[in-house]
Every structure is written in structure tokens, then in C-alpha cells.
Chains A and B, each alone.
Chain A
Amino acid sequence: MAKTVFPQGSLPLLVLKLLARSGPQHGYAITLMIERLSEDALSVEEGSLYPALHRLEESGWIKAKWVVTENNRRARIYEITASGRKQLEAEEQRWRSATAAVDRVLRLA
């Protein structure tokens, strides 16, 4: 199946949304969730998720901490912050209106 490529700039929004809905997750779990939702759209280079996570972390929208998993491995889990939730709200709004505008143009053209 041909891979769907995410529109530019949508990955952070997606990550924030997933973390807001499902609570703290590690990077691999986020990858799985995105794959499941978008039918492998991300899997070109799975690692490309991590820089995106770190940008969100630097911006203070998510925070990370190390935990020990059930089989005694260290894993880094990410959690959305309060300002991340506000950012998500604003971004979602912006995204909706932008895509709605694009949709409208496509339908009318």
C-alpha cells in the first residue's frame, strides 16, 4: 500500500493529541499508536518521531522522565503539560479552520 505522508507540521499536533488522550507514553508506544491510526503513514523512518518529541519537550508542552518498565528496562516516557494542553487546543482550532478552508476550496474548485 502506498504510504500516506503527513501534511507538514501535523506531527506535533498528533503527538500532543495522542498524549492528551492516552496519558503518559514512551516513544515506541506513540509510534505504534500513530501507525495504527494512520495505516503506517509514519514508518518511513521511525526514528524521525524523536526529534519531534524533543522539540515539544523543549517548548515545554510535554515533559519527559525515565521510568523502569515491568521487564526491568529503562524507558523514557512523555507526558503532556498544562501549557501543552492549551497549545493543543489552540493548534487544533487552527488546524480545523485551515483544513476546512482547504476543503472548501477543493469542493468548489
Chain B
Amino acid sequence: MSWYSRLRNLLRKEELDEELNEELRFHAERRAADLGITVEAARRRVGNTLRIREASRDIRIAVWLETVLQDVRLALRVWRKRPLVACTAILTLALGAGMNLAVFGLMWDSMWKPLPYKDADSLVQIWLDDPADHRTAPRNIVVDQWRQRSRSVVSVASYRPWRFTFSGDGRAPEQVVAALISESFFSTLGVRLMMGSEFTKSQVHAGGDNVVLLSESFWRRRFGGAPMVGRQVVVEGTLSTVVGIVSASFHGAALIRGARGAEPEAFLPLSRGRAGFSNDVSIPTSFAMGRLGPSVSVPVAEKELNAIARPEERRTVWLSPLADEVSYGARPAMLALIAATACILLIACANLANLLLAQTVTRRRELSLRAALGAGRARVIRQLVTEAMLLSMAGVTAGLLAARVFTGVIIRLYPGVMPRLEEGESSRWVVYLFAFGVSVASGLFFGLLPAWRGANEAGGDGLRVGNLLMSGGSRRWANALVGAQVGLTAVVLIGAGLMLKSFLALRSVDLGIAREHRVTATVDLPSNRYKTDADKTRFGSQLLERLRSVPGVSAAGISNSLPLRYTNLMNLRLRLPGVNGNQPIAGRAVGGDYFQAMGIRLMAGRTFEERSKTEVVVNETFVRRYLRGNNAIGLALPQDGWSLVVSGVAKDVRHLSMRDSAVPEIFFPFTMFPLSTVDMVVQSNLPPTQIMAAMRREMRAIDDQVPLGRPMPIEQVVDGELAQPRFQAVLLGVFAVVAMVLAAIGTYGVIAYYVRSRVPELGLRRALGAGAGDLIWLVLREGMSAPLIGLLLGVATGALVLGRFVESLLFGITPRDPAVFLLTAGVLMVTSLLACVLPSHAAVRIEPGVALRES
């Protein structure tokens, strides 16, 4: 009986009972007719129907279990007799499945596990589709309208990452990672505060916004867990009432700050966010999210929000599941990694299929014997598949252990690259379920083909002694598997090569700044102590003077926004000669020897006078875009009521990220726009730790209530930028090497087997005068055809399909980078050749006499 009908039997119990009843009824009626007794009497002779029915049903299930157990017992015996084959298979699978499970576990934890918020499925991020950016955050004023008028989105909240100085409680001041949030932020997420309550409507508007929420960990660390709700603390220089404590079980880092963010330690009302250059203008945009009403679909909500927003924002509102947005940045890399590990698993399975295929040939006598003794074809196949399943289960179980190790190594090597891992490991049942699925799938994958071939080999002349030759059919399959392996390896190698080359290109990209011997840091000036522009200007001048006077410092500069550090940038709109309308220009207010200290070359002209109220420096992109490359020095840029003069042109700097080229930028003297965020950069050949200590010392001397924030050498800043691409490149590289080794082993195994099984024939050829070269050529021709075809298919797949998936991860190269493709082809050719050359030498060493005797 087939597995299928057996499974059906288990599921159609009633039908079986009905059949048995009918059978017994027939029996009783015939008996009654034969003996001339009543049907009732005949029925009594049949006996206890219920017991018969149960016995019959038990038998059906018991027999099935029995045969399964029998198969398993037999399989155990088979593998105990072949420990080498079994261990090879289990280790191969442990490696292949282990990597796959590790990446799957990381993906689950960072992308797919439910967000740690109530009914997270109905949470959405609200974006505007702007021509410049598909993901543009809406303006706060529009968010307020949605909050008031939307029916489909029952709760709306906005937020943005923030940072401020916590001081005034008698302890050392510290910079605090924070978030600015609107009213109903926590209620939208369905998070209950540990103590107190979140901001009310009146508390998120200027005037009533002297309130703060503390995180549980910050509260315990700074205040030792003392009762704080209702008490006042100094936040950014103003007294603010603590209205609540946010439990440590709340995780908002990935939501608010992205993958590399730390958990916010304090929450302030949105209205407390002021643009850096003016303490009066609050920041107009922040991220917005909402909770859809019960059974409201995304398109319906989008339509409604659009209708509400229309008059102000002539852009399209679109919604994205919040869970997708939280892991947005990590997604393409994780998908590339899981695809690579899936390829590894397939390659491992192909190896095992070939191993088992060779096994069925060496076991042909045993299989033939069993067939001759009455085991049907289906029975032989089932036995062989059971054997494979046993290996698969053992291998994947070992893989689960290996995955733990891999995951630990990956997380230790690349902390902060994947989002949401700080939420802690989720329940592992998904991983176990996935592992079970993987083991069944791979067991079938590498078990079915050899089993089917095995059943074929068992027929015919299998009982003949000493016949190690695979039938032509089996050999074709073995070659097909080798081809598939090499093809998959080619795809993984191409992917890894592209990623590696992108990483190298990115690492050596010209940032426009010097990377060595530079240390940066940031301070935030509390607004109560630095009220006026004069206060801030004085601070800036003082700081510059003190930094310059540190022995060993060759240059020092300040700015409101350092490259790659995402601090306060001025988004200016300036009027430019010959261009209609105000143009968006990124502005930086810099002071001291900023250009020298940062290593930014001036391509023309000179820097501005420190106290100048008109001179500015523009970057190369500005000149190219707005001045068509004409000489910019001395050019006047008249604005409404004032005028600027270009005194110099600075080399382009990749300020936003290493991937993005520069936008038009303009540098002002910091005295023109004194800011409350002061970034500093110091050039020195001294060790960074020494410089940082000096910076701290000088800061304390100027104002001991303003802490030095995030002191860091520029190398370290750049290194942080490279973490994600390095992670992708290194992991894919490792996976590619594993894939290649597995494929080489696979090719070698098949060719070696081919040579061994043809020793008599090769010996005969030798005896008949074939030279060493002839034999090597014979083996190579047999061995290389499958890898070559596989390589061609793999390269074609890489060229046609792969590009679309990895394009977003690449930098500075096309998805069809010829060097990567050529190198992949070369490397695979060489490894395949090596895999064939070793067995071919074995063929040459065959002694004709010995070989002929052997047959």
C-alpha cells in the first residue's frame, strides 16, 4: 500500500468503519440465508462488531508504524555499517543547513518576527512620494490634521531621533540619546508606560512642553530608581517635569533610529525640537506612523489621508507596514545572504545525492537480493528514502547546533548591523519548524533520485559479482548534479565577487576629506546658558582658541555638521543668478581652520575671513550645477536685502553617506550663523586618545556643564559607515568559499568514482598501449564536460537574473562587471580541473596486470 493511501486511511476513519460494517453485514446476511436463521442470529455468530472494528483499525495503523520502524531500524543498521558515508553526509549537511539556519534565524529576528507592539499588523508608516525621494516624511502640521480628521487611521503619532545634554542635577552632565515624540505615541504602539502617563495634547505644544519621559534604564542609572514622576529635572537648560517612566521592555531603537541606533533614554515633546540655527523655529517634519482601524485596508486609508492632506501637500501619501520600514535598510543584504545559503544547501544536497547514488551502486547486490526476495520496487525506494531521511534529520539537527555557533560569531563580528536584535531572541519554534522543513525537503531532494536509480539498478543483472559500473542513466544523473552544483557555485561566486568589489570601491572612494590624524566631537549648547548669538559666537571663538593651543594640534575647526555624522544641517533656499526660483542648498557654518583641519582642499580662491558677513565658499558641484563651471571667485550672490560673495571653491565632500555624491553646498563663517550645535575637528599626529583627553579637558575649562559628545577619530566614523557593506561582502565571501569547496568535493567524488569503477577498462587500455596522456585526456573529457556546462549556465544566470536582485547593493560597478565574471569562470575552471586531475593521475598509475586480474 502506498504512503498516499495509508495517509488517506488515517484521515478517512469513518469511511473505513463503514466499509467494515458493510462487509460484516454481507457476511451475516449470507450466513442467515445459508442456515435459514434470522439475520440477527447470524450477526450474533459474527461476534462483537465494535471489538472487531477496533482490532481492524488498530491493525491498519500498527502495520504502518511497524513498517516505518522496520525501515528506520534497517536504515540505522545500514549507516552503522557505513560510518564514513554517514558522517560525511551529516557533516556536509550540518555545514550547509547550519549556515542556512543561522541566516534564517537572523532574518527572522531582524525582519520577520512580529514587532514588539500590540497588534503590530495594523501599524503603518506614513510617507509622501516626493519627486526627490520616495520616502519623504510628512510635515507635522499635516500629521495634526490626519490625527484630527482621519477615520480609517484611528491613531496617528510622529517622532524623530534627538539628542540633548542632561545636566543641572549636581552630577556630571551627559549627552543623552533621545526621541522627540508627539502625543499618543505610546498609545498608538499599544505600549503602556511603567509609571505616569505619556504627553497630552497640551504638552506637545510650545508653552506647555516643559515635560520629559525617562526610560527605565536611564532612570535607574542616573537617579537610582528614586521616585521621579512629578519631580523636575533640567533638560537642555530648562526645568522640565518628569511625567512618566518608559519600561525597559519597550524597544524603540530600530523604529526611531534604525539599525545602528541605541535605545532612547529620554523622550521629549515634538515641539522641543528646534532647528539648530534659531532657537525659535521648530523642526517642521518628523516621521509619522499610524494604526489602521479594524478591517481598514491600506488603499482605503491612503485615499482618505490623501484627501485630507491635499490642499497643503500636493504629493501622494502612501502607507507601508511598519514592520517593513523598521528593517528597511537591512532587507536587500539579508535576502542576498539567505539566497546564498540556500545555494550552499542545494550544493550540499547535490553532493549527498551523488554520494548516495554511488552507494546504491556499491549496494546493488544487496538491493537486488531484496528485490529477488520479493521486495517490490516501491518497497526498495521507500527503504532508500528512509535511509536518506535519517541522514537528513541527523544532519539538520547537527546544523541547528552549528547555526548557534555561526549566529554567535556573526553577531559578535558585526554588532549593530542588523536591526532589532536587541529585542532579544524570539521564540525559536519558527526556526525549528523551518529546520524541520529543510530536513524533509533536503532528505527528499538527495534521497529520491538515488532511491529511484537504486530501484532501477536493483533490477537486471545486479546480482553479478564485482560490477561497480553505474548504469548510463545513473551516470548521466551524477553528471547533471555536478553541473548544477558548479552552476549554483558560479552564481554565488559572482554575487560575492560583485559585493566584494563594491565594498573595495566604497572603501577607497574619495570622500573629499582626510581620513587620518583627525579627531571629531560634538557639543550641544544648552539654550538657557547660551541665549544670544553673541554667547554662541564667544563660545566658538573660545573653543577654537583653546583647541589650537593644545600642543601637537596643527589645525582645529568647528562646524554645525560634520561629514557622515548626520548632525544639524541647514537646508537653505538661496536665490542664484540666472536660475529661476530659490534653490535648495545645503549650508554649513564653519569656523577656524575648518578646511585644513578636515583636509578639504580648496580648488580655487581662498577661505573666507573669519568675521566676514558676506564671504562664502561653495563646493564643486555648486559651480558645476549653477555656474556651468565658470569661474566662481568673486561672484556675487544677491539675496533679499543682503548679498554673498564667493571667495573660494572647495572640493566636493561626501557629507551624507559614502555612497551618495555631493549635492550643491555652501560654507559660511560660523559668526554669520552661530549655532547651538558645535561639531569640532582637530588635526594632530598625536594618538587619538591623547587628543580626546585634551579636548575633554579644554571643554571642561570653558564650561563644565557642557559634556563633550561622541569623541571619535574620523577613521572610526568611516569604519562605522562601512560596517554594513563589509558585513555583506565578508559573509557572502565566506559562503562563496564554502560553496566552492563543496562543489569541488562533489566534482572530485564523481570523477574519482568514475575512475575507480573503470579500473579494469582503463587497465586494458593501458595494456593495449594507451599512453598516460591518453588516459588523462579520457578522464578529463569525461569529468570536465558537466562542470563546463554548469559553469556556462551559472554565468548566464548571473548575467541575466542576478543583477536585478543585487543592483541596489552595488557601488561603483555594474551587475555585469566583466572582471568578476572572468574571475569566477577562471576560479571554477581551475578548481574543477584540480578535482579531475587528481583522479586522472590515479588512472595513470593503474597497473595493467593488477587491473585485469581485479576484473
Chain A residues near B (Cβ < 8 Å)? 26-28, 31, 43-48, 50-51, 54-55, 57-60, 73-76, 82-83, 86-87
Taking a contact as CB atoms under 8 Å apart, the answer to whether A87 and B47 are in contact is: no
Most buried by A among B26, B31, B49: B26
- In the bound assembly, the distance between CA atoms of A51 and B26 in angstroms comes to 16
- Contact residue among B24, B63, B375, B376 (Cβ-Cβ distance under 8 Å from A58): B63
Set of chain B residues within 8 Å of A48, measured between Cβ atoms: 47, 52, 55
CB distance from B61 to the nearest CB of A (A): 9
- In the bound assembly, the distance between CA atoms of A31 and B30 in angstroms comes to 11
Query: Inter-chain contact count A-B, CB under 8 Å?
Result: 69
Taking a contact as CB atoms under 8 Å apart, the answer to whether A46 and B56 are in contact is: no
Taking a contact as CB atoms under 8 Å apart, the answer to whether A73 and B26 are in contact is: yes
Taking a contact as CB atoms under 8 Å apart, the answer to whether A46 and B26 are in contact is: no
B469 interfacial by beta-carbon distance below 8 Å: no
CB distance from A2 to the nearest CB of B (A): 18
Taking a contact as CB atoms under 8 Å apart, the answer to whether A74 and B22 are in contact is: yes
Q: Given A28-B27, A58-B1, A86-B374, verify A46-B59 contact (CB < 8 Å).
A: no
- Contact residue among B19, B31, B63, B374 (Cβ-Cβ distance under 8 Å from A55): B63
- Contact residue among B1, B52, B64, B373 (Cβ-Cβ distance under 8 Å from A51): B52
Taking a contact as CB atoms under 8 Å apart, the answer to whether B19 and A51 are in contact is: no
Taking a contact as CB atoms under 8 Å apart, the answer to whether B374 and A47 are in contact is: no
Set of chain B residues within 8 Å of A73, measured between Cβ atoms: 26, 29
Taking a contact as CB atoms under 8 Å apart, the answer to whether A50 and B374 are in contact is: no
Q: Could you tell me how many residues of chain B have their Cβ less than 8 Å away from some Cβ of chain A? A: 27
Report the nearest A residue to B373, measured CB to CB: A86
Query: Which residues from 4 to 48 on chain B have a C-beta closer than 8 Å to any C-beta of chain A?
Result: 19-20, 22-24, 26-27, 29-31, 45-48
Q: Can you give 22 A-B contacts (C-beta < 8 A)?
A: A28-B27, A44-B47, A45-B48, A46-B46, A47-B24, A47-B46, A50-B20, A50-B23, A50-B24, A50-B56, A51-B59, A57-B1, A58-B1, A58-B60, A58-B63, A75-B23, A76-B22, A76-B26, A82-B374, A83-B375, A83-B376, A86-B373
Set of chain B residues within 8 Å of A86, measured between Cβ atoms: 373-374
- In the bound assembly, the distance between CA atoms of A28 and B30 in angstroms comes to 8
- In the bound assembly, the distance between CA atoms of A60 and B2 in angstroms comes to 10
Q: Given A58-B63, A83-B376, verify A51-B55 contact (CB < 8 Å).
A: yes
14 A-B pairs besides A48-B47, A48-B52 with CB distance below 8 A are A28-B27, A28-B30, A45-B48, A46-B27, A46-B45, A47-B46, A47-B48, A47-B49, A50-B24, A51-B55, A54-B56, A58-B1, A74-B22, A86-B373
- In the bound assembly, the distance between CA atoms of A54 and B58 in angstroms comes to 10
Set of chain A residues within 8 Å of B26, measured between Cβ atoms: 26-28, 73-76
- In the bound assembly, the distance between CA atoms of A83 and B373 in angstroms comes to 9
Taking a contact as CB atoms under 8 Å apart, the answer to whether A50 and B52 are in contact is: yes
- In the bound assembly, the distance between CA atoms of A73 and B20 in angstroms comes to 15
Most buried by A among B47, B49, B373: B47
Set of chain B residues within 8 Å of A27, measured between Cβ atoms: 23, 26-27
Q: Given A46-B47, A48-B52, verify A76-B23 contact (CB < 8 Å).
A: yes
CB distance from A56 to the nearest CB of B (A): 10
Taking a contact as CB atoms under 8 Å apart, the answer to whether B23 and A59 are in contact is: no
CB distance from B146 to the nearest CB of A (A): 66
- Contact residue among A31, A58, A74, A83 (Cβ-Cβ distance under 8 Å from B64): A58
What is the predominant secondary structure among interface residues of chain B facing chain A?
A: helix
CB distance from B644 to the nearest CB of A (A): 94
Most buried by A among B27, B47, B373, B376: B27
Interface string of B366-403 (1 = CB under 8 A from A): 00000001111000000000000000000000000000
Report the nearest A residue to B19, measured CB to CB: A76
Report the nearest A residue to B33, measured CB to CB: A71
Set of chain A residues within 8 Å of B46, measured between Cβ atoms: 45-47
- In the bound assembly, the distance between CA atoms of A74 and B22 in angstroms comes to 8
- In the bound assembly, the distance between CA atoms of A98 and B49 in angstroms comes to 34
- Contact residue among A43, A47, A60 (Cβ-Cβ distance under 8 Å from B1): A60
- In the bound assembly, the distance between CA atoms of A46 and B1 in angstroms comes to 26
CB distance from B720 to the nearest CB of A (A): 66
Report the nearest B residue to A89, measured CB to CB: B374
Most buried by B among A47, A54, A57: A47
Set of chain A residues within 8 Å of B22, measured between Cβ atoms: 74, 76
Taking a contact as CB atoms under 8 Å apart, the answer to whether A47 and B47 are in contact is: yes
Set of chain A residues within 8 Å of B48, measured between Cβ atoms: 45, 47
Q: Given A28-B27, A45-B48, verify A59-B374 contact (CB < 8 Å).
A: no
CB distance from A30 to the nearest CB of B (A): 10
Most buried by B among A54, A55, A83, A87: A54
Set of chain A residues within 8 Å of B59, measured between Cβ atoms: 51, 54-55, 58
- In the bound assembly, the distance between CA atoms of A51 and B56 in angstroms comes to 4
- In the bound assembly, the distance between CA atoms of A59 and B374 in angstroms comes to 12
- In the bound assembly, the distance between CA atoms of A63 and B412 in angstroms comes to 61
- In the bound assembly, the distance between CA atoms of A74 and B374 in angstroms comes to 32
Set of chain A residues within 8 Å of B49, measured between Cβ atoms: 47
- Contact residue among B31, B55, B373, B375 (Cβ-Cβ distance under 8 Å from A46): B31
CB distance from A66 to the nearest CB of B (A): 8
- In the bound assembly, the distance between CA atoms of A79 and B396 in angstroms comes to 43
- In the bound assembly, the distance between CA atoms of A57 and B27 in angstroms comes to 18
- In the bound assembly, the distance between CA atoms of A86 and B56 in angstroms comes to 24
- In the bound assembly, the distance between CA atoms of A87 and B46 in angstroms comes to 28
Most buried by B among A28, A31, A43: A28
